[in-house]
Amino acid sequence: MRTRSRIICSFAVLLFCTLNGYAQESTAVVSPISSSSVSQSTSLVSSRPTSTGTLTSSASATTSQATTTVINPTSTGTLTSSASATTSQATTTVINQSQGASFPPVGSIPREYSPENLDRFWAIVGEVEAPPFTTTPVPKTPIALPTPPPQLYPSFFSPAPKDILPDLKFPKGFLFGLDTAAFQVEGAVKDEGKGPTMWDWATRQPNAVIDNTTGDITDLQYFLYKEDTARVTPLGVNAHSFSISWSRIFPFGTADSPVNQAGLDHYSDLIDYSIEQGVEPVVTLFHWDTPLPLQSFYGGFTSGEIVNDFVHYAKTVFKAYNGRVKTWYTFNEPRVYCGQIASYPFDVTLAPGVNVSTAPYQCSYNLIRAHARAVKAFREMGIQGEIAFKNDDFIGPPWRINSTEDAEASERHTAFQIGVFSDPIYKTGDWPKILTDTLPPSYLPRLNESEKRDILGSADFFAIDSYRVQLISAPRDAGGIRGCVADESHPLWPTCNEIMSFDTGGWSVGVSADPAAPWLQATPGLLRGALREMQKRWPTKKMYISEFGFVEPFEGTRQPQELFQIKEDVARTNYFMTYLGEILLAIHEDKLPIAGAFAWSMVDNIEWGSGLSTRFGIQYVDDTTLERSYKRSAFALAEFFKAHLQ
């Protein structure tokens, strides 16, 4: 178990006011000199209230005036930048030892949109670590890739990426994308007017994150987004799927609260720079980072009040970036998120009358209505592009091939894991019958006819975060499915199925990932069957593999001096190559309309409750210096797509 090591810089006394004077980004001067010679200078924006409804922060040592920045790409494949120059190898303590206040009773803090009230919400979070620099370096482009790694295995055993199915190509316009999410990569959690999120609070709760990591710094992509974009373009990446932090746009979250123009400006520049570099921006509106004030005001997504607030936020973002973003997602993995908020530490923040048993379903009801109304607004506003949401999980074959009960269990798994949102949106407008037969209305509120009309058809394509496929069994006790469904105290109720990671012969369904991610196995042989079944159940004209990725075993335990080992991510590389081969076959042999595949993730990042111990990145990030290093998997992806894109 590792802990973050950086110097804590308290922002507890910083006031947040209006961001009228949001400073321009730093001016870059490209020079061959070493980045260690770079100096940074920043100036504070004066705090003054305005009537514009914009938040401005004197917190800013985070808003920067024009600065000179030098980037010197090295031949090692490791990012050398002003980032590492300004950190001065500063190291330190575990932030979780400095917790904020316990979460207040829902509704106890008034809805006042003042800097003082925002301070009250930040006090709930506690002490926040300041970023080591607050300017955006502009890299010299194009960045030259270092020498690729040597072929690991002889060609008779394992072909080079370019030689995998060499006669097959992806369709024209296919998106080779990488994923990130705001909380997981941005850092700078209190900079430029941002409000607190529930994950800012959660990471400071005892035992909530196994290595005590917070999102305060993580990859600091909030300021390093240009370098990260420039580093993936020479790999051939033509799309970046990222999320917008609701709290950066509306620090208080609500529809009647002021907009933070600095947040809008930041993502506008990210979008523009991505397009300039030939990288298509793909935007997710919500990737789990609920504004903390909304949880405090009414219980977040466990309250119906959130629907109007989310739709107002969505409309604000649609209007700001219309014409520049072609592909939109309302929500990332809503099923996972709704399960998450019913667990520790979020279980003490639910709306009145909602408990941990009903919270996932109350959340699902409110979230699907928020999705449908946001999509309705998208279409009424005439926003360019397409919109959907990101499913997760899989359709798993029955564990016992000839077992009718395991086949029924597989149907239950599909209904609860994917059908809960996909059936209403793509198929019927209503919840799957398996859910309504199992869950009373006190758990899962029923949809009325007006809601059904809004929900049905509220997606333009189908997206699935497809990491693995496993087998499904009925409960293996004497009562089976019937006994489970009839007994709310059964440990498998209400889904009443078991996920099996091995077959009836005792063989694993795939290579296991790091022990810190016991749910994940590499199962390329089961991928196409699952994708075929999804297209059969929820047919669309376009599909995206919106996330897929792998945790290299024991990578998270290695230290920076073991960089040569960290970069040698053979299991992850094999995962990507086998999955991409199966995706090619799914397109050509199964005739599936797959239009893009997005690898998780662009860089190592904070993996929620697993912290930094679980790493998905195709680039390593040194926790102390923030230097990036390409891994073998990055080169394999580049070679594969160069050979297979048209």
Per-residue pLDDT, 2: 31
Is position 333 annotated as part of the catalytic site? Answer: yes
Greater confidence (25 vs 15) lies with: 25
Question: Which entry of 192, 227, 333, 451 is annotated as an active-site residue?
Answer: 333
> Residue range 523-552: average pLDDT?
99
Per-residue pLDDT, 102: 87
Helix (H) or strand (E) holding 376: helix 359-380
Per-residue pLDDT, 349: 96
Q: What one-character-per-residue DSSP string does 70-108 give?
A: -----TTSB--SHHHHHHTT-----GGGSB-PPPPPTT-
**Model pLDDT for residues 380-394, shown as the tens digit of each residue:** 999 999 999 999 999
Is position 552 annotated as part of the catalytic site? Answer: no
Buried b (16+ CB within 10 A) or exposed e, 474-509: bbeeeeebebbbeeeeeebbbbbbbbbbeeeeeeeb
Whether 461 contacts 540, CB under 8 Å: yes
Q: Give 24's DSSP letter.
A: P
Give the type of residue at 503. D
Domain 27-644: homologous superfamily in CATH: Glycosidases (3.20.20.80)
Cα angle, residue 257 at apex, residues 253 and 263 outer, rounded to 5° = 65
> Residue range 85-102: average pLDDT?
43
Per-residue pLDDT, 38: 27
Greater confidence (91 vs 209) lies with: 209
> Residue range 583-587: average pLDDT?
99
**Tokens 């010299």, located at residue:** 140
Q: What are the C-alpha distances in Å from 28 to residues 56, 82, 136, 140, 187? A: 25, 11, 9, 9, 22
Confidence of residue 100 (pLDDT cuts 50, 70, 90): low
Per-residue pLDDT, 618: 99
**Model pLDDT for residues 461-471, shown as the tens digit of each residue:** 999 999 999 99
Per-residue pLDDT, 98: 53
Q: What is the mean pLDDT of the chain?
A: 88
Per-residue pLDDT, 26: 32
Per-residue pLDDT, 64: 33
**Model pLDDT for residues 307-324, shown as the tens digit of each residue:** 999 999 999 999 999 999
**Model pLDDT for residues 408-435, shown as the tens digit of each residue:** 999 999 999 999 999 999 999 999 999 9
Question: Which entry of 305, 547, 555, 582 is annotated as an active-site residue?
Answer: 547
pLDDT exceeds cutoff 60 at 53: no
> Residue range 337-353: average pLDDT?
97
Per-residue pLDDT, 443: 98
Rounded CA separation 267/182 (Å): 11
According to the 3-state scheme, what is the secondary structure of 548-606?
Answer: ECCCCCCHHHCCHHHHHHHCCCHHHHHHHHHHHHHHHHHHHCCCCCEEEEEECCCCCCC
pLDDT exceeds cutoff 80 at 106: yes
> Residue range 436-453: average pLDDT?
99
> Residue range 75-89: average pLDDT?
34
pLDDT exceeds cutoff 90 at 259: yes
Domain extents in the chain: 27-644
Beta-strand relationship, 628-630 and 619-621: antiparallel
**In this predicted structure, which of 60-69, 140-149, 406-415, 585-594 has the lowest mean pLDDT?**
60-69
**Model pLDDT for residues 126-161, shown as the tens digit of each residue:** 999 999 999 999 999 999 999 999 999 999 999 999
| Of 568, 625, 630, residue with least CA distance to 75 | 630
Share of the chain above pLDDT 70, in %: 84
pLDDT exceeds cutoff 60 at 74: no
Helix (H) or strand (E) holding 450: helix 449-455
Q: What one-character-per-residue DSSP string does 152-180 give?
A: SS-TTTS--GGGSSTT--PPTT-EEEEE-
**Model pLDDT for residues 615-635, shown as the tens digit of each residue:** 999 999 999 999 999 999 999
Tell me: cis bond preceding 258? Omega within 30 of 0 counts. no
Q: Give 126's DSSP letter.
A: B
